[in-house]
Structure 1
Amino acid sequence: MMRQYLGFKAQYPDKLLFFRMGDFYELFYDDAKKAAKLLDIVLTQRGKHAGDPIPMAGIPHHSVESYLAKLIRMEESVVICEQIGDPTTGSTPVEREITKIITPGTITDEALLEQDSEHCLAALAKNKKQFGLAVVDVCSGRFLLMQFDDYTPLYNELSHLTPAEILVPEGLVLKQSKLLRNITPRPIWHFDNDSAEHLLKKQFGVRELSGFGCEEMPLAISAAGCLLQYLEETQRANLQHLQTISVHKQQDYLMLDAVSRRNLELDRGYDGTHKNSLLTILQTTVTAMGGRLLKRWLNKPIKDTQELCLRHDAVACLLHNQQFVRCRESLHEIADLERILARISLKSARPQDLLKLRSALKVLPELRLYLTDLNCLLLQKLCEQLHHCPDLYALLNQAIVASPPAMIRDGNTIADGYHAELDALRKLKQETAQYLLDMESREKERTKISTLKIGYNRVHGYYITVSRSQTKALPKEYHRLQTLKAYERYTTEELKMFEEKILHAESKALILEKQLYDELLDACCEYIPRLQSCSIAIATVDVLACFAERAETLNLNRPAFQETHGIDIIAGRHLVVEQIQTEPFVPNDLTLNHDRRMLIITGPNMGGKSTYMRQVALIVILAYMGSYVPADVAILGPVDQIFTRIGASDDVSEGRSTFMVEMIETANILNNATENSLILLDEIGRGTSTYDGLALAWTCAEYLVADTKSFSLFATHYFELTALTQQIPEIQNVHLDAIEHNDKISFLHTVKEGATNRSYGLQVALLAGVPKNIVGKAKLFLQQLEEKYQKINACKNQQKDMFVDVS
């Protein structure tokens, strides 16, 4: 047996091997030591090898999922080696084979996945200038191809995909990044382009790949080929749920780099949790599929305004007479169809999956009926995709019991009346109890022993129990099995024949039920293309209904798009801040156009400058998702990218100071922004000396308006920057208002035209709890500095008078 184990282990030296032995999965040698430490299980030993004890650790087979979940969260990979031979035949060793390889990027079990997050496996190919990226979500069947001209857009894509595992060619050296975790090197020949094309054509049943629009993406195709080989190796099953390729091109999306997503707290707050993120406010979808789609739309808004208008039309339609309420009631009954279909394809679906599929098919006609009555182009198109597959529903309704067990091995999944032979085998088992009662009565009468009992255990099977004092009265055909303190156990030829018949029937029933179940899965596979189209439609309807509910609940309004450059917002609000603060939110307007490309924003600390800037970006993102927006009016021209430079901190791991981080982010903006970009800049230059910072802030502002011609919001405490409006007409000043009374400050949070030179820093210090005596001294020192500054300015003015032209 150990020779068999070592043979399998030699094939997968870098993975934990779960070796099935009876009711346990056993691990040996270093695997046992590692698993005992990671899973907090007992480390024992079994026999010896080269004179040393063999370390061993075991996991009960019925609870393996919980242990696998722990290991996957620790980014470990596991090989499952199952017994496929019958251990009762006496052959040594029992026949075994590798049935599955579970890696961080290839898990599909429901217990190991997060419901609202995609679980991606990526592959990366590279030449001297470009990167090719292929991404697959094995749990849903989504297969994406992308190609990039440099590392930055690749990094931005990975930052929101956060793949659980990345396949790269052996020897490829990449820039260090927290995103590039779980790197799995693969042989270079796995990235061969010709082999990749062949694999992709075979998988998707096409003669050419041009129909997918990826013919000009050779690196992405190479990466995709590597993905398919890896999935075939690890899944050991049909990948029928991988039905098509989706090509993503940067120019089709409103680009948000990793820094902007973090600064705008789109799906995570600054603390790394979902709390206080935009996603948390938006997330009222009722299906897991809809939740994942909402997250995708949030991280990759589209730029196609025609498609966006269709989404807005759908939201308007669902809002009318609260139609979204009826849709959401139906959606509540639909389980995670995407992932169920993946498990069906991979032959890992459990009875509960088929029950949930049946329940979804039952409710789909009702959902179709609701959508059919709505006069909306997009909703009608989605309605056509809602294939409710009546034949499949009838089959599942006939084949599966109302409340199936967790595992097919537990039996009683197939309904009575579905298969005559299975019914006969079950009937035999059901008659067992009565047969044993009748036999017990007969034997009591025959032996005249009233205390005689027939029982069963797993060691001896069926047996007859009598007290030791009555054994002399037993017939000669009674054969002793076991002697106990007060009783003895016997068997007879009749009882042995009955046991063999019953056990054979039970075993045969389980084997037959598994066979019928596999046939059901095969039947379901025939419907996968239609059901995947259906699941996409369900998710889309769910997100649109979510937008409608949010629009009504949060007082959101429909945005409008225009071809000319500009952003006009009336009474805009920050959706997240509005929901978490207790006092009413103060809305503000914004206008950016050809004559007003940059706003220099001044005002007190805590006055709302950052909130004002962020709310503009969030309104744009919401509109480009297809959602309504928190504003009375929002008219948006073309926007291709949103950049933010808000806040900064040291990046110790990369050896970067606060100012270095600030300048790297600023450089990225200056090098990549276009005239269609929206830029948010907060306190440029504050990480260095006053004059260095002011000089950098001044020249950056000039460049963005004069050269890049972007739309920019520029918050600053450098009052000197407000003079830019005198040199560049496209720059305007606005400020956040506040009122001071008796050394106390009240923030009005209203944006007004013009500049202010008051930061109210001392008042904010008092609010923060700085001791009054410290603030008092600071106030005296401030007065001295201001007087000194005024004298210097006066001297400068007098010096200028000496050179007045008197001609």
Structure 2
Amino acid sequence: MAEGIVGEFLALKEETDADLLAMQCGDFYEFFGDDAEFVGEELDLKISEKSSHGSAYPMAGVPLTELTPYLKALVERGYRVAVADQYEVDGGHERAIERVVTPGTLLETTDSEARYLAAIVREGGGNGGEDESRYGLAFADVTTGRFHATEIVGGSEDVLTECYRFAPAEILPGPAVRTDDDLLGRLRDRTDGTLSLHTTDAFAPDTARATVDEQFGSEALASVGLDEATGAIRAAGGVLDYVDTTGVGTLASMTRLQPSQSKEGVALDATTQRNLELVEPMGDGGRTLLDTIDHTVTSAGGRLLREWLCRPIRAREELTRRADGVEALAAAALAREELREELGAAYDVERLSSKTVSGSADARDLLRVRDTLAVLPRLVDAIEGSPDLQNSPIADVLARPDRAAAEELRGALDEALAEDPPGGVREGDLIRRGYDDDLDELIDGHEAALDWIDGLADREKRRHSITHLSTGRNKTDGYYIQVGNSETDEVPEEYDQIKSLKNANRYTTDELDEREREVFRFEERRSDLEYELFCELRERVADAAELLQDVGRALAECDCLASLAVHAVSHDWTRPELVDSGLDIDGGRHPVVEQEVEFVPNDLALTEDRAFLVVTGPNMSGKSTYMRQTALITLLAQIGSFVPARSAQVAPVDGIYTRVGALDELAQGRSTFMVEMAELANILHSATDESLVILDEVGRGTATYDGISIAWAATEYLHNEVRAKTLFATHYHELTGLAEHLDRVANVHVAADERGDEVTFLRTVEEGPTDRSYGIHVADLAGVPEPVVGRSRDVLSKLRAEKAIEARGSSSDESVQAVFDLDSGSFRGSASADGGRTADELSEGETTENETVDGSLDPDAESVLDAVQETNIGETSPIELMSRVEEWQRRLDDTEDDE
């Protein structure tokens, strides 16, 4: 009964804390009640309304074979969906929830991006403050079996950085994190991950350690230096328990525990990753570094390249090995293209291994595993046929997987699987003839029974001389004999009529019924045996999950190195030389910008004696690009890539820190200036003498004098205490004077050619400071109205000549107020439009209207002068300053009226 189905649905829904329930009903997965209305709106599904016993209920469904895309759409929008499957029990049906699909446990993903589930645990902190907190983090990708864990001592910003690097689809906050509103809010704002709660018991230290030991072995934690990292263990245990609880069935594919942070890694906080646009553009339609250099031909290769960009290293041996591989592939053009062509035939075996482990892989998936394993020896042949590659790191990469085991598994799959199996695993035709004797016997019997039926029509025509006779099969009638109406009188007595049609009648016979039962028995037994054999084969592949992961990672690395080689060759990049200190770039270019414009290369030299460059120059002249390209060249060198330069000598850094424009965090109550200062504070606390620091316009978010003070003090601290390699772009020309007092500071500027009012930005970086900023020219380029630009030039000329500046009224007969006289730096009084003069223009013996004969001011005028002298022009905005001037003028006018 329908009401019974709805009741069963509601009962199952109460068993789970999932947002939605999809319940199998025959050949469909159905949603009922509120769930039906919700998915109908979200997924544009048709909602039916059926009545039973006087009540109506909404229902929406999708075919059994089409659940995956709908499930994916719901989960990627952040919803958790329980799936209840139907089973045959004693002639009836029973249903049970088999899995809960969540954003972090969605196995049926169709894109190539990694899909991480994360857990965050906090220990300590409390009254000790955030700086004393210890965070444990774990990240698992159920689609590939990747599993990382780490422990962080410090603030929540480091947690956000790690989350930004892995971009988890779902985050499980541990018990203490659930009450940290600030961290939760920033996780919501700074990541796309859905926050989900999981049982507190899973994060308990003893429980979590037992879970991790059972999954990875008791020695795994010690092998990666996490044996005493309680927070990391708790987070890892929470993730493993969640994966197990949701029923995704991929635990067996998680064979290795890896630290997410290497001692040889490069600190790359979330701010820097965004500022450098490594994998995410800062604006709509922007192009990232990954977009630019990604020429991979496999999904796994693209994922690995992204990982390298977000997790650069400083291990010389590994960097040299990667660069050797890129260099070899760059030199061997034909072999490189053959390698890439072969890689293009490979499937994502890391993900396929997870599907086999979960039991969701079908025969076509196993064929993809077979075909990918066949790529491995072809790649080896391509390498061995190239003198440039046969002794290169590429050969070593392909030697990592157990090639004998891979070939054995490939052979087993080739021997077992039919070449064109159906999409389902219960339909038969999965297994190749000759693989199993019992199956071959069933296939022979099945085919013999079918042959008898196929020849029945011809035999009956000859036997009974009936011309219009045929045989067929459908779900309603089974097998039947059909005779046209014109010859129905000729049918023999043994024909039993089962249906009358408009132009024919359908019949069956006792022998045909027996043959039909025989066919059905063969089909059922064949299907069951094929499914059994297929499951055994799938289990064998699942047992080889670690081998498949090794193969997948080897193919991904070859693809990644080949991609870097392709870009290096096609864009004239060069191999950087790794040195012990300094940074020397000859003809450096920005790897992304050079794709879009004709780029002017620039040099850069940082040494022990010249480690801090103050970069000045006009707006829009290329200062930020110059600094970013320096950071990106350094980063590319530290993933093993070639770099966009004529030559480059790079000493690997332990961190790259940038502050190049504040993101808007007003929703968190953080002003632009507050964000700027928070980012600066993080740099000053985190950078070392082996770091690279990029600062752009520090201090501009506040009043001028405050900004100069902060920029000045930060420069001194970075120079004297941190001693990091630093590029500092500024419009505060006062800072250029630091080069005369701090021995490691030097000035460079982006040159401009000025001819009259025409300015051309040359995009070349030269030694020494600039003498002006050309802001008015930039305003003109940006389309500021000509009256404003013209007036700006007039004001600027007076400033340069140290002449007084008057605030003009809106009409020619309105009085004009002299606001500044830079000769004395103070307010000078008023002058009327009809020839009035300032105090300095009075001849000897004359007095102003507010001045007595002996030269003293009356009390009201003196109070105005005091207010002027107390006003700090550098810290007062132009609008506020004009308001004050108007107030002072009003007070002076009132004094005149009183007289």
TM > 0.5 fold call = yes
Corresponding residue of 2:216: 204
1:122 aligns with 2:118: yes
Within the candidate set 179, 182, 192, 2:194 is matched to 182
User: Aligned equivalents of 1:365 and 1:464: distance in 2?
Assistant: 55
Q: Which runs of 5+ in 2 are unaligned?
A: 125-132, 805-819, 826-899
Corresponding residue of 1:285: 296
Specify the SS of the correspondent of 1:755.
coil
Corresponding residue of 2:375: 363
Contact 2:731 2:773 in 1 (8 A): yes
The alpha-carbon deviation at position 197 of structure 1 amounts to 2.0
User: Aligned equivalents of 1:789 and 1:72: distance in 2?
Assistant: 67
Change (3 A) 1:377 1:217: farther
User: Aligned equivalents of 2:529 and 2:706: distance in 1?
Assistant: 80
1:22-61 map, 5 Å: 22-48=26-52, 52-61=55-64
User: Aligned equivalents of 1:706 and 1:13: distance in 2?
Assistant: 57
Contact 2:264 2:314 in 1 (8 A): yes
Within the candidate set 575, 593, 612, 1:577 is matched to 593
The alpha-carbon deviation at position 432 of structure 1 amounts to 5.7
TM-score norm. by structure 1 comes to 0.91
Change (3 A) 1:742 1:213: same
User: Aligned equivalents of 1:663 and 1:212: distance in 2?
Assistant: 36
Change (3 A) 1:719 1:209: closer
The alpha-carbon deviation at position 161 of structure 1 amounts to 1.0
Contact 1:317 1:376 in 2 (8 A): no
Corresponding residue of 1:73: 76
User: Aligned equivalents of 1:757 and 1:607: distance in 2?
Assistant: 14
1:385 aligns with 2:400: yes
Corresponding residue of 2:330: 319
Within the candidate set 234, 242, 266, 1:222 is matched to 234
Change (3 A) 1:264 1:237: closer
Corresponding residue of 1:12: 16
Structure whose alpha-carbon radius of gyration is higher: 2
User: Aligned equivalents of 1:674 and 1:142: distance in 2?
Assistant: 31
Aligned length: 784
Q: Residues 637-687 of structure 1, C-alpha deviation per residue, up to 9 Å, x if partnerless?
A: 342221111123532322333222222222222232222221111112222
Corresponding residue of 2:165: 160
Corresponding residue of 2:273: 261
Specify the SS of the correspondent of 1:569.
strand
Specify the SS of the correspondent of 2:251.
coil
Contact 2:653 2:690 in 1 (8 A): yes
Change (3 A) 1:688 1:207: closer
Q: Residues 148-176 of structure 1, C-alpha deviation per residue, up to 9 Å, x if partnerless?
A: 11312111010121111112235722321
User: Aligned equivalents of 1:132 and 1:779: distance in 2?
Assistant: 58
The alpha-carbon deviation at position 531 of structure 1 amounts to 2.7
The alpha-carbon deviation at position 299 of structure 1 amounts to 0.2
1:346-745 map, 5 Å: 346-371=358-383, 374=389, 376=391, 378-388=393-403, 389-431=406-448, 434-444=451-461, 449-467=466-484, 474-564=491-581, 566-581=582-597, 583=598, 585-745=599-759
Change (3 A) 1:467 1:332: closer
Specify the SS of the correspondent of 1:756.
coil
Within the candidate set 345, 348, 352, 1:333 is matched to 345
**Greater CA drift, 701-710 or 371-380:** 371-380
Within the candidate set 275, 284, 299, 2:310 is matched to 299
Corresponding residue of 2:776: 762
The alpha-carbon deviation at position 447 of structure 1 amounts to 5.5
User: Aligned equivalents of 1:165 and 1:17: distance in 2?
Assistant: 19
Contact 1:121 1:135 in 2 (8 A): yes
The alpha-carbon deviation at position 198 of structure 1 amounts to 1.9
User: Aligned equivalents of 2:228 and 2:390: distance in 1?
Assistant: 40
**Greater CA drift, 669-678 or 287-296:** 669-678
Q: Partner letter of residue 267 of structure 2?
A: M
Within the candidate set 51, 60, 65, 1:62 is matched to 65
Q: Residues 574-614 of structure 1, C-alpha deviation per residue, up to 9 Å, x if partnerless?
A: 11111111x2x211111222322321111111111001000
Specify the SS of the correspondent of 1:276.
coil
Specify the SS of the correspondent of 1:599.
strand
Q: Partner letter of residue 686 of structure 1?
A: R
User: Aligned equivalents of 1:789 and 1:755: distance in 2?
Assistant: 26
Change (3 A) 1:432 1:24: same
The alpha-carbon deviation at position 460 of structure 1 amounts to 1.9
User: Aligned equivalents of 2:233 and 2:683: distance in 1?
Assistant: 31
TM-score norm. by structure 2 comes to 0.82
User: Aligned equivalents of 2:654 and 2:432: distance in 1?
Assistant: 56
Corresponding residue of 1:801: none
Corresponding residue of 2:106: 107
Specify the SS of the correspondent of 1:537.
helix
Greater relative contact order (Cα 8 A, min sep 6): structure 1 or 2? Answer: 1
Specify the SS of the correspondent of 1:57.
strand
Contact 2:18 2:81 in 1 (8 A): no
Specify the SS of the correspondent of 1:625.
coil
Contact 2:142 2:250 in 1 (8 A): no
User: Aligned equivalents of 1:146 and 1:552: distance in 2?
Assistant: 37
Corresponding residue of 1:800: none
The alpha-carbon deviation at position 84 of structure 1 amounts to 2.7
Q: Partner letter of residue 169 of structure 1?
A: G
Within the candidate set 782, 785, 795, 1:781 is matched to 795
**Greater CA drift, 212-221 or 97-106:** 97-106
User: Aligned equivalents of 1:535 and 1:568: distance in 2?
Assistant: 37
The root-mean-square deviation of aligned C-alpha atoms, in Å, is 2.5
Specify the SS of the correspondent of 1:302.
coil
Contact 1:557 1:629 in 2 (8 A): yes
The alpha-carbon deviation at position 264 of structure 1 amounts to 0.7
Specify the SS of the correspondent of 1:408.
coil
The alpha-carbon deviation at position 293 of structure 1 amounts to 0.8
Q: Residues 697-716 of structure 1, C-alpha deviation per residue, up to 9 Å, x if partnerless?
A: 22222222122222211111
User: Aligned equivalents of 1:254 and 1:208: distance in 2?
Assistant: 24
User: Aligned equivalents of 1:450 and 1:369: distance in 2?
Assistant: 63
Q: Partner letter of residue 226 of structure 1?
A: G
Specify the SS of the correspondent of 1:705.
helix
Specify the SS of the correspondent of 2:777.
helix
Contact 1:570 1:590 in 2 (8 A): yes
User: Aligned equivalents of 1:718 and 1:536: distance in 2?
Assistant: 50
User: Aligned equivalents of 2:630 and 2:709: distance in 1?
Assistant: 27
